């Protein structure tokens, strides 16, 4: 039961029979916006440091940040280090992604009274701090001027990022409309069967879009960062688990739930 309490959140936790003592560690799921607020501030700070590194023609990032990255990578920064277009783009796209999700949480999504575990909340806060550092650790070597590094994988990754972000935003809007009227006011906090868009083929397209976003950032790195691919693997398992739990709930709760829908990846999983 403790394991289930740690991996479930929102509606998949709401309908689970739990011991009373477990509820002590509940925090509102609507606090998801805290994660993205931290990410916007922290990763915006890291982006600012990197832009300063580029345009001020310095040999290193800020001293404390350089020392931290040296510890994390196990490799000392050299004076010949040059700014990397891949690093800049991933930092920028990560910040844009966090800002969009923050705005969606605050102005689009309609959260129920669902909860998440305090451990999940603390992990989420730390996750986006570590994520920004992972970007700086993933691509620190290279040569050439910044824009001379532009390659096909930057364009491909950027295009996939835009497409996946639009898919996720569309999905979040459709979920919000399940609880709002034509005027946009909240009419109910009940869970309903999502319809329209990619919901016609998969129960959780917003989770699938999250995976595609991380894949797109790996492509921006040229697909050469093992660290980032390990992160993509983590997101795959994390989002797949959450999607399967939601899918199972829909099937058990709604007898008329479409049988052809998959949980996570259209026509596959």
Query: In whole angstroms, how far apart are CA 20 and each of 7, 28, 219, 251?
Result: 17, 16, 46, 27
Cα 145 from Cα 246, distance rounded (Å)? 47
| Cα 198 from Cα 170, distance rounded (Å) | 9
What pTM was computed for the model? 0.93
The pLDDT tens digits of the residues spanning 202-215 come to 999 999 999 999 99
Element (H, E) at 66: helix 63-73
Per-residue pLDDT tens over the stretch 210-253: 999 999 999 999 998 899 999 999 999 999 999 999 999 999 99
Which residues have CB under 8 Å from 203's CB, separation 6+?
A: 194, 243, 246, 247, 250, 261, 262, 263, 264
Tell me the C-alpha distance between 124 and 119, whole Å.
Answer: 8
Say which range, 18-27, 158-167, 169-178, 226-235, has the weakest mean pLDDT: 18-27
Alpha-carbon distance values, 68 to 13, 61, 65, 75, 231 (Å): 38, 11, 5, 11, 20
Position 140 scores a pLDDT of 59
Contacts (Cβ under 8 Å, ≥6 apart) of 93: 158, 161, 216, 217, 220
For the beta carbon of residue 265, count every other beta carbon within 10 angstroms. Answer: 18
What is the reported pLDDT for 76? 74
pLDDT: is 12 or 207 the higher one? 207
Per-residue model confidence (pLDDT) at position 79: 54
Taking Cα atoms as reference points, which of 85, 122, 99, 119 lies closest to residue 43? 99
pLDDT in tens, 33-91: 999 999 999 999 999 988 988 887 665 677 888 888 888 888 776 655 678 899 999 99
Helix (H) or strand (E) holding 26: strand 26-28
Return d(Cα 208, Cα 197) in angstroms, integer.
13
Instruction: Decide: 42 and 35 in contact? Cβ < 8 Å.
Output: no
SS3 call for 90:
helix
The confidence score (pLDDT) of residue 90 equals 96
| Cα dist from 232 to 43, 85, 210, 211, 223, whole Å | 19, 20, 10, 7, 11
Structure confidence by residue, pLDDT tens digits, 132-165: 999 988 765 556 677 888 899 999 999 999 999 9
Length of the chain: 269
């Amino acid at each position: 039961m403790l394991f289930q309490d740690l991996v479930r959140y929102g509606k998949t936790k709401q309908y689970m029979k739990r011991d009373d003592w477990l509820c002590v560690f509940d925090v509102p799921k609507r606090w998801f916006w805290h994660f993205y607020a931290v990410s916007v501030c922290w990763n915006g700070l890291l982006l600012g440091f990197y832009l300063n590194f580029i345009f001020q023609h310095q040999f290193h990032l800020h001293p404390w940040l350089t020392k931290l990255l040296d510890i994390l990578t196990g490799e000392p920064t050299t004076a010949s280090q040059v700014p990397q277009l891949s690093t800049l783009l991933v930092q920028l796209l990560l910040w844009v992604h966090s800002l969009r999700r923050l705005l969606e949480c605050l102005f689009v999504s309609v959260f129920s009274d669902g909860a998440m575990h305090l451990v999940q909340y603390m992990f989420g806060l730390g996750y986006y701090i570590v994520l920004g550092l992972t970007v700086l650790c993933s691509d620190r070597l290279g040569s050439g001027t910044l824009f001379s590094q532009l390659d096909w994988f930057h364009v491909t990754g950027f295009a996939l990022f835009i497409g996946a972000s639009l898919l996720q935003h569309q999905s979040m809007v459709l979920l919000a409309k399940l609880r709002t009227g034509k005027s946009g006011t909240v009419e109910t906090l009940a869970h309903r069967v999502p319809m329209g868009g990619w919901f016609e083929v998969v129960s959780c397209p917003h989770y699938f879009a999250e995976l595609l976003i991380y894949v797109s950032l790996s492509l921006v790195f040229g697909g050469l960062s093992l660290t980032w691919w390990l992160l993509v693997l983590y997101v795959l398992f994390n989002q797949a688990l959450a999607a399967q739990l939601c899918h199972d709930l829909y099937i058990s709760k709604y007898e008329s739930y479409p049988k052809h829908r998959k949980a996570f990846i259209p026509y596959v999983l």
